[in-house]
């Protein structure tokens, strides 16, 4: 007997797709490792594409991360002093091209609020002492502990509609900041906009901020040395990935960090066989002259 249901073909297709998914997950994974293996198997069966697989794995990784694992360290925070006049802080805004800035007093442990660069637009270029005040323009600062789970923070970002939080340690001192973009990049990879510098595509080195870079692990040590004026040896390893893995003494997982020659290397992407992407933070001036072998 023929089926007169106009949706039967579509329904059959959906059932087939669902059945295939159920078949993949029929093993009821009992650990994260088994779940990752099943996701890999789903890609190999063409149930999902590689981008989807990487995003699912990114979500799993985020569930295990703490804010301290992804925050921008205190030393790299671009801040504005609440007592600065416009002529002093406007060049900072123009040069760094960030959308939000912590406003501090005395030092970075005293964050008074957050300045949104877009809030300056309403003033045009008419910043007079009588009309403009950082204290009046800045927004309240959101404070979160280093130990807060990243997935929970993402929910807070979405539900409360804020995009930046100041991170504090167990003693209440500021240890860094975190943005919603930092979290999303853990899931979908690096997010670039029209202001990102693409001059280094040939060497797989992309600038994220004044002191932070995203680097493909296959970048040669020679290219890294040329770009950053360093002297890392390439006698034992040819690539940045090999250098970092050797420094760890094991294959690191995403989120692990190591300091080599004053540079902080944080693994942002890796599979079971190799490192794929790292994020590099430039050394502080006092550490820049240290021997790379240290």
Region 65-93 average pLDDT: 86
pLDDT band at 91 (very low <50, low <70, confident <90, very high): confident
Residue 8 structure tokens: 């039967």
Distance CA(130)–CA(11), nearest Å, equals: 67
Identify the CA nearest to 84 among candidates 68, 65, 101, 105: 105
Domains by residue range for the chain, with CATH: 69-186 (3.10.580.10), 192-281 (3.30.465.10)
Percent of the chain scoring above 90 in pLDDT:
29
Sequence-distant (≥ 6) Cβ neighbours of residue 294 within 8 angstroms: 261
Across the strands, what pairs with 140?
A: none
Closest CA to 48 of 26, 23, 21: 21
In Å, what is the CA distance from 95 to each residue of 8, 38, 91, 160, 199? 59, 46, 6, 29, 17
> Of 103, 107, 105, 144, nearest to 120 (Cα)?
103
pLDDT of residue 292: 47
Lowest mean pLDDT among 151-160, 187-196, 214-223, 240-249: 187-196
Identify the pLDDT of residue 193.
Answer: 56
Stated pTM of the model? 0.55
| Distance (Å) of CA 76 to CA 175, 184, 203, 234 | 10, 20, 24, 29
Q: What is the pLDDT of residue 128?
A: 61
Whether residue 132 has pLDDT greater than 80: no
Cα 197 to Cα 72: distance, rounded to the nearest angstrom? 19
pLDDT confidence band for 201 (50 / 70 / 90): very low
Mean pLDDT of 41-56: 77
Reported as a single tens digit per residue, the pLDDT across 140-197 is: 999 999 999 999 999 999 999 889 999 999 888 999 999 998 888 877 766 655 455 5
Q: What is the mean pLDDT of the chain?
A: 79
Q: Would you state the pLDDT for residue 263?
A: 94
Residues 6+ apart with CB under 8 A from 216: 204, 240, 276, 277
Q: Which of 18-32, 65-79, 90-104, 162-176 is predicted least confidently?
A: 18-32
């Amino acid at each position: 007997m023929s089926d007169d249901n106009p949706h039967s073909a579509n329904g059959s297709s959906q059932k087939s797709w669902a059945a295939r998914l159920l078949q993949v997950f029929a093993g009821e994974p009992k650990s994260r490792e088994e779940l990752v293996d099943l996701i890999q198997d789903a890609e190999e069966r063409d149930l999902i594409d590689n981008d989807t697989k990487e995003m699912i794995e990114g979500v799993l990784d985020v569930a295990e991360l703490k804010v301290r694992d992804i925050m921008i360290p205190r030393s790299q925070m671009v801040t504005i002093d609440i007592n600065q006049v416009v002529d002093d802080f406007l060049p900072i805004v123009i040069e760094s091209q960030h959308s939000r800035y912590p406003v501090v007093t005395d030092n970075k442990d005293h964050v008074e609020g957050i300045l949104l660069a877009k809030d300056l637009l309403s003033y045009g270029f008419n910043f007079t002492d009588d009309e403009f005040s950082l204290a009046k323009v800045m927004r309240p600062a959101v404070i979160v502990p280093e130990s807060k789970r990243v997935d929970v923070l993402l929910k807070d970002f979405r539900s409360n509609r804020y995009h930046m939080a100041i991170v504090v340690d167990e003693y209440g001192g500021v240890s860094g900041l975190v943005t919603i973009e930092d979290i999303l990049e853990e899931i979908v990879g690096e997010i670039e906009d029209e202001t990102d510098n693409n001059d280094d595509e040939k060497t797989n080195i992309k600038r994220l901020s004044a002191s932070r870079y995203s680097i493909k692990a296959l970048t040669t040590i020679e290219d890294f040395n040329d770009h950053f004026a360093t002297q890392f040896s390439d006698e034992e390893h040819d690539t940045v990935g090999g250098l970092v893995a050797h420094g760890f003494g094991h294959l690191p997982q995403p989120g692990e960090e190591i300091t080599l020659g004053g540079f902080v290397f944080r693994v942002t992407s890796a599979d079971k066989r190799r490192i794929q992407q790292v994020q590099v933070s430039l050394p502080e001036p006092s550490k820049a002259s240290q021997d790379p072998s240290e």
